[in-house]
Amino acid sequence: MKKCNNQSLGVSMSKIRLRFAPSPTGYLHIGGARTALFNWLLAKKLGGTFILRIEDTDVARSTQVSVDAILQGMEWLGLDWDEGPFYQSDNFPLYKEKVQQLLAEGKAYKCYCTAEALEAKREAALKSGGKPKYDGTCRNLNDTPEDKPFVIRFKAPLDGVTVFNDLIKGSISFNNEELDDLIIQRTDGTPTYNFVVVVDDASMGITTVIRGDDHVNNTPRQVLLYQALGAPVPQFAHVPMILGSDKARLSKRHGATSVIAYRDMGLLPEAMINYLVRLGWSSGDEEIFSKEELVEKFTIEAVGKSAGVFNPEKLLWLNAHYIKAGDPERLAELLLPFLADRGITARPAQPDLVNVVKTLQERSKTMLEMADGALFYYKTELEYDQEAVQKNVKPESSGYLKSLSAALSTADKFDHESIESVFKGVCADLGIKMGQIGPAVRIALSGGTVSPSIYEVMEVLGKEETCRRLDLATARFTAAQG
RNA sequence: GGUCCCAUCGUCUAGUGGUUAGGACACCGGCCUUUCACGUCGGCAGCAGGGGUUCAAGUCCCCUUGGGAUCACCA
């Protein structure tokens, strides 16, 4: 067992509390899933608490559909939470109270500037090369026009430096003069994001905030807010972004970005977890990690600082690995919906799906591929690949198939070994080599030139069905050759 | 543009002053083989550039370049 460093020891002793706080304005995407995973892993590793909080203060953009999609994504990945889901929309009274507190303490003020005026000033500043920050017009207003609409701004310090030690990126500092007086309550009385996050993280006792890189610039404002509220400042860990192959931020252009879309493409959740964690984190030269191993080995300090490019090929490789290593019974269950999409709506009795899966595990990169590969087993009437027939079926093929079928039908056992020995016996009797009969047999059994091993297919199909397909092909090949 | 962050093969990464710069995906070739795969063996390929510090720099410092994030009454 490795020694803990002081930092993680300190965290674990104070019972770490983490949260994942997505906003319900879309599905759970790759980046969010990884952030959730890192939170989950650290909570599990340190015996802490993982909280799910839905950031729905933007009532206009938040939807229940998105909430459901996020929950579904979390569930698929197996990222369960200890508390929540909490909804920020349930906490409006608390935010109101905290705003009043800051107002009473002179740490916030009412601002009567209109959005239009602000926008104009911002544009002017930008045009003249200045900074587009709030100019502080209402900061020291004496006469307050009570009848006009207003927002409430946080009175940020004008000078000094705000520093925080990021668990991933190290020390990050900002000059306070770069920060302006951010709005904490809108004209309509609803609170804004930066304020709400702080109030919630403080009231929920969050000790460590793991979130996307895109929040680093918000962090100094939030630190200031914690201080103004008299709350302890949590530790921060900003995980780098995930980029597309063009090094631009991952988006729809780069293919599916919802984790559920990957499920529908035939990915296994353990492959997704494994891929996501390795994108930005590593443990020596290891590539394959079970969740249990991750819980044991993961540390937030080992997460890399730089953005990573999403690589679908590697994801696919991991998926192929987990399919190969997976439990056939479970894979059979997971295969059902993909078969249903292909017209096999009920779980077929014959041939046994688990046996079918076993023949396909080593040759499927996705469950979707596996479903495609499984189809021929369940077709009563195969369509032969014409090109394959032309190339591989010779005038003598029908005779070979007939002999094979006859020999097979008298076999007392029908396992891999006995099938092989009968097969070889037939070849010897006919004085031919495997290559002279193999392709035609494969077409007879599967309809094409690509399938699992012939012996395996025969075994799974069973004697009766094997002979039926062989006989059927004999007839059809004969007919085709006239 | 301001601010903040980042920089090892095409990609994900190991590396914490002394290494023939390691692994993985992808790619290429050999082997295995009744097909497709799996597997296996081998190959290609990298420290962005420039200055320092040091006996010694991928590793420390500075600059340049490049990339990203962010500058809302969104989150």
Asked whether strand B has any atom less than 7 Å from the CB of A320, the reply is yes
Closest nucleotide (C1' vs CA) to A287 is: B24
C-alpha distances in Å from residue A276, one per residue of A95, A170, A338, A406: 35, 22, 24, 53
Q: From first to last of the 482 residues of chain A, give the pLDDT tens digit.
A: 233 333 343 444 569 999 999 999 889 999 999 999 999 999 999 999 999 999 998 888 889 999 999 999 999 999 999 998 999 999 999 999 999 999 999 999 999 988 888 888 877 777 776 777 888 888 888 777 778 899 999 999 999 999 999 999 999 999 999 999 999 999 999 999 999 999 999 999 999 999 999 999 999 999 999 999 999 999 999 999 999 888 878 877 776 689 999 999 999 999 999 999 999 999 999 999 999 999 999 999 999 999 999 999 999 999 999 999 999 999 999 999 999 999 998 888 889 999 999 999 999 999 999 999 999 999 988 898 988 888 888 888 888 999 999 999 888 889 888 899 898 999 988 888 888 899 999 999 999 999 999 999 999 999 999 999 999 998 888 877 65
B45 C1' to A8 CA distance, Å: 38
Question: Is the distance from CB of A270 to CB of A322 less than 8 angstroms?
Answer: yes
Tell me the whole-structure pTM to 2 decimals: 0.92
Q: Using an 8 Å Cβ cutoff, are A35 and A20 in contact?
A: yes
- Any catalytic annotation for residue A252? yes
CA distance A355 to A345: 18
What was the pLDDT predicted at A156? 94
Question: From the alpha carbon of A194, which nucleotide's C1' atom is closest?
Answer: B75
* Residue A185 near residue A192, CB atoms below 8 Å: yes
Other Cβ atoms closer than 10 A to A351 = 18
Categorise residue A205: left if φ over 0, alpha if ψ from -120 to 50, beta otherwise: left
The confidence score (pLDDT) of residue A128 equals 72
Per-residue pLDDT at A39: 98
* Residue A71 Cα distances to A21, A62, A267, angstroms: 12, 14, 18
Q: Provide, in whole angstroms, the distance separating residue A298's CA from nucleotide B24's C1'.
A: 19
CB of A2 within 7 Å of some strand B atom: no
Query: Using the CA of A247, which nucleotide's C1' is the nearest one?
Result: B67
Residues in A 131-170 whose C-beta is less than 7 A from nucleic strand B are 131-133, 149, 151, 169-170
Distance of C1' in B16 from CA in A211, Å: 26
Give the Cα separation of A448 and A235 in Å (integer).
60
Position A413 scores a pLDDT of 87
Contacts of A106 (CB under 8 A, 6+ apart): A155
A220: CB within 7 A of chain B nucleic strand: no
The length of chain A in residues reads: 482
* ipTM exceeds 0.90, yes or no: yes
pLDDT score of A124 = 77
Instruction: Specify which residue's alpha carbon is closest to the C1' of nucleotide B33.
Output: A453
Cα torsion at A210, A215, A217, A222 (round to 10°)?
A: -60
The CA–C1' separation of A326 and B75, in angstroms, is: 39
> How many other C-beta atoms can be found within 10 angstroms of the C-beta atom of residue A281?
22
Closest Cα to residue A79, out of A259, A283, A297, A227?
A: A259
Q: Which chain B nucleotides are covered by protein, judged by CB under 7 A?
A: 1-8, 10-14, 22-26, 34-39, 67-75
Amino acid A284: pLDDT: 92
Task: Report residues 288-317 of A contacting strand B, contact meaning Cβ closer than 7 Å.
Answer: 302, 304-309, 311, 313-314, 316-317
A15, A131, A148, A252: the catalytic one is A252
Check whether residue A192 has its CB closer than 7 Å to nucleic acid strand B: yes
